[in-house]
Structure 1
Amino acid sequence: MKPPKQSSGPPFGKENQDPEFEQELLKVERALVALKERYNQVQADKASQKELQQRLGRLRHSKLPNVKAELKQIQQQLEELELNLESQLFSWDSVKEPFWQAVRFGGLGVIIGWLLKSVAG
């Protein structure tokens, strides 16, 4: 039996791709890398947050004199972690499209409303 004939090159080689497709593919790859990095950062922040909360719980029951300063420092770190976790969930890129859709269709609705009012009124 003869092996199947191989083509001389990939069907989607560089010579067959248009530059626009290549740019979009690079954009998607960069977005995927950024998403992976953000996911890893969120996982690390959640682990740190859990560890700090456990430490905070242990220190609250402690009677040592320097506990207040450490409690304050841990609370501050927890607040920073919470801010980091929340701030990255809503970036401009994630709300840009819905925002402009709302502006576009909301504005269109207002214009249609004015037209209807002027015709009916």
Structure 2
Amino acid sequence: MKSSPPLTEQDLAEFATALEETKKDFKALRQRYGEVRDAFTQRAEAQAKITQGHLPKAELNRLKKQIETLEETLENQLLSWNNLKEPFWQILRFVGLGLVLGWFFRGWFGS
């Protein structure tokens, strides 16, 4: 059985940094979850008021605009840059690496 090398101070510092980043990401995720949950609740309440009927036209228009705004908020929460940042950079990194390797092999083996 292979034994792993002993941990260094740098390894522990990197782990602590990664742990802090994960903590911040989790806190941001929890906050986004609360915002999305509140928006869903507010949208459901507005839709319930609309379906009850007998509302003045001004109130009906206000509720419809509120629903549109809440739906935009929900869409923005689901498609934010923070959610797409990591996959974007991974794709960019591996596509770039693939291009470099392709050019290298083409030059090496000639075609």
Normalising to structure 1: TM-score of the pair? 0.63
Match of 1:43 among 33, 46, 66: 33
Question: Which 5+ residue runs of structure 2 have no aligned equivalent?
Answer: 1-5
Give 1:28 deviation, angstroms: 1.5
Structure 2 counterpart of 1:78, one-letter code: E
Give 1:39 deviation, angstroms: 2.9
Q: How does 1:10-89 map to 2 (within 5 A)?
A: 18-61=8-51, 62-65=53-56, 66-87=59-80, 88-89=82-83
Aligned length: 102
* Contact 2:43–2:70 under 8 Å retained in 1: no
Give 1:51 deviation, angstroms: 0.7
Question: C-alpha separation between the residues in 2 aligned to 1:28 and 1:104?
Answer: 25
Greater C-alpha Rg: 1
* SS of corresponding position for 2:84: coil
Question: C-alpha separation between the residues in 2 aligned to 1:77 and 1:106?
Answer: 43
Q: Select the structure with the greater relative contact order (CA < 8 A; seq sep ≥ 6).
A: 2
Question: Which 5+ residue runs of structure 1 have no aligned equivalent?
Answer: 1-15
User: Which residue number in structure 2 is paired with residue 99 of structure 1?
Assistant: 92
Query: Hey, which of these two has a bigger chunk of helix by percent?
Result: 2
Normalising to structure 2: TM-score of the pair? 0.68
Question: C-alpha separation between the residues in 1 aligned to 2:93 and 2:15?
Answer: 24
Question: C-alpha separation between the residues in 2 aligned to 1:84 and 1:23?
Answer: 32
Once the two structures are superposed, residues 76-121 of structure 1 have per-residue CA deviations (whole angstroms, 9 ceiling, x without a partner) of 1321232023213212x443234212211123224534666xx44x
